Amino acid sequence: MYESVDLPEDAPPEAVPLAMARGFTRAAWRAQGHELEQLAIFAAASGSEFDAVEVAALLVLSPRAAQERLDLAVTLATRLPRALAAIKAGRLDPYRASKIADATLPLSLEDAAVVEREILDRVEEMPAVKLCRVLRRIVARVNADALQALHEQRVARRRVDMYPTEDGCAALTVHGPAARIQVAAKRVDAIAYQLRDTGGADGRTMDQLRSDVALDLLAGKDFQHAKITVQVTLPARAALGAGNTPGHLVGYGDIAAQQAVDLAYQADATWRRILTEPATGRVLDVGRRRYSPPAALRDHIQAAMPTCTGPGCVRPAVRCDLDHREPFPVGPTDKHNVHPACRPHHRAKSFGGWKIIKRGEILEWVSPCGFRYPHHPEPITHPEPVPPPF
């Protein structure tokens, strides 16, 4: 069943098929919601250890995928009924619902309901990666110890997967702690850029260089040390050991307070420490030994807005352009007019007919078809309640 979507005022003709595509997508989500509901009913009625085999054969899935589908169905029906209702209403897809289920796994039913209620008020226009970041923040606020518990569970399941793709190629994925993965990825990037800048690329693209460097490192090839910097944010009180408010790892999102404190003093990379003001969660101080004023402005913007501001984009700000909302020299180069934008979003604004309207702290991206996508800047750490006066 098709769900109509309101078109923006004065929308051009090409906006009509986009609106129809969105309507069909939401109709598919509704159908998937009803499918999950029926799978939960089946699991409750059957209770056999071979339920996944039955589902796999019927839905043409692998046994593992069928088990994951069944587990999600049961979790939504028993722990997250509002999320299941949102899928059936076409407001949420099963994949993002699975992220809510994963994030609330260590919580009690009562706390899970609190997280579910809050995230469903905001989830409709939120892509999966951003959803995971916001979920970690809400979970940590509801139960600060849960974030650490979830981290420990995930680390305990770290692994390496290898699977064939096509035409003689294969994929190797490493699952592990976000901080270590980020250090490893940055080292691959640094070496690849070093090869490119010193004439060692031999015509290879950056993606090809990254792949070759990563495999060379795993195979034991020794590269000259490449300097990397990783940014970790922690609330001032947590830095003093006086609070457990979560910190923030740039390029990933919220991490438990103790992780942030530990990372700030780790020695396997250059870790830039950023302190935040307790009452607001905004940037208070950027730890820096040597940088000129333009670099200081860049550091501040990248710390205050840790991702691209484009709709649905979570590319880390350190890998984005610093774009002038009002083109220079009409618009100044300051924190009010400069924001991080990945290269595709930067080019879309400069050459593709996109516009950005600033409304207070909100940057609203307007597409050529007239659709509007507000970017709401969030504090990168949790605001802390002001303690009562003595």
Mean pLDDT by 10 residues, the chain (390 residues): 71 90 94 98 93 93 92 98 97 97 93 96 89 90 83 89 87 91 89 90 94 91 70 64 69 74 61 60 51 60 86 85 79 82 89 90 90 80 59
Task: Give the whole-angstrom CA distance, residue 219 versus residue 224.
Answer: 15
Closest Cα to residue 245, out of 336, 331, 147? 147
Residue with tokens 């050991």: 241
> Cβ(379)–Cβ(280) under 8 Å?
yes
- What is this structure's pTM? 0.73
Measured CA to CA in angstroms, residue 199 lies from 194, 293, 324, 370 at distances of 9, 31, 32, 45
- Do residue 70 and residue 140 come from a single domain? yes
- Do residue 27 and residue 149 come from a single domain? yes
Contacts of 164 (CB under 8 A, 6+ apart): 170, 171
- Do residue 188 and residue 126 come from a single domain? no
Q: Which of 107, 131, 153 is the last residue of a domain?
A: 153
- Do residue 168 and residue 235 come from a single domain? no
* Per-residue confidence (pLDDT) for residue 79, from 0 to 100: 97
Residue 200 lies in a domain: yes
Inter-residue long-range contacts of 184-191, CB under 8 Å, 24+ positions, other chains counted: 186/228, 186/229, 186/230, 186/269, 187/217, 187/226, 187/228, 187/269, 188/213, 188/214, 188/217, 189/228, 190/226, 190/227, 190/228, 191/217, 191/223, 191/226
Measured CA to CA in angstroms, residue 374 lies from 16, 38, 320, 365 at distances of 21, 36, 19, 6
3-state secondary structure 287-352: CCCCCCHHHHHHHHHHHHCCECCCCCCCCEHHHCEEEECCCCCCCCCCCCCEEEECHHHHHHHHHC
Contacts of 347 (CB under 8 A, 6+ apart): none
- Do residue 276 and residue 210 come from a single domain? no
- Do residue 356 and residue 240 come from a single domain? yes
Buried b (16+ CB within 10 A) or exposed e, 232-253: bbbbbbbbeeebbbbbbbbbbb
Looking at residue 286, what DSSP letter applies? E
Beta bridge partner(s), residue 171:
163
Residue 389 lies in a domain: no
Task: Give the whole-angstrom CA distance, residue 209 versus residue 141.
Answer: 41
- Do residue 257 and residue 317 come from a single domain? yes
Q: Which of 107, 127, 153 is the last residue of a domain?
A: 153
Buried b (16+ CB within 10 A) or exposed e, 20-32: eeebeebeebbeb
Residue 4 lies in a domain: no
Closest Cα to residue 96, out of 135, 128, 55, 57? 128
Task: Give the whole-angstrom CA distance, residue 257 versus residue 145.
Answer: 10
Closest Cα to residue 222, out of 213, 233, 211, 231? 213
* Per-residue confidence (pLDDT) for residue 314, from 0 to 100: 82
* Per-residue confidence (pLDDT) for residue 113, from 0 to 100: 97
- Do residue 173 and residue 142 come from a single domain? no
Q: Rounded to an integer, what is the distance from CA 262 to the centroid of its chain?
A: 22
Given its phi and psi angles, is residue 245 left (phi above 0), alpha (psi -120 to 50 degrees) or beta? beta
E-only strand ranges, 11-75: none
* Per-residue confidence (pLDDT) for residue 288, from 0 to 100: 43
* Per-residue confidence (pLDDT) for residue 291, from 0 to 100: 28
- Do residue 130 and residue 195 come from a single domain? no
Q: Look up residue 304 and give its two tokens.
A: 């205050």
- Do residue 148 and residue 38 come from a single domain? yes
Q: Look up residue 267 and give its two tokens.
A: 């020695």
Query: Domain residues for 96?
Result: 15-153
- Do residue 263 and residue 286 come from a single domain? yes
- Do residue 208 and residue 173 come from a single domain? yes
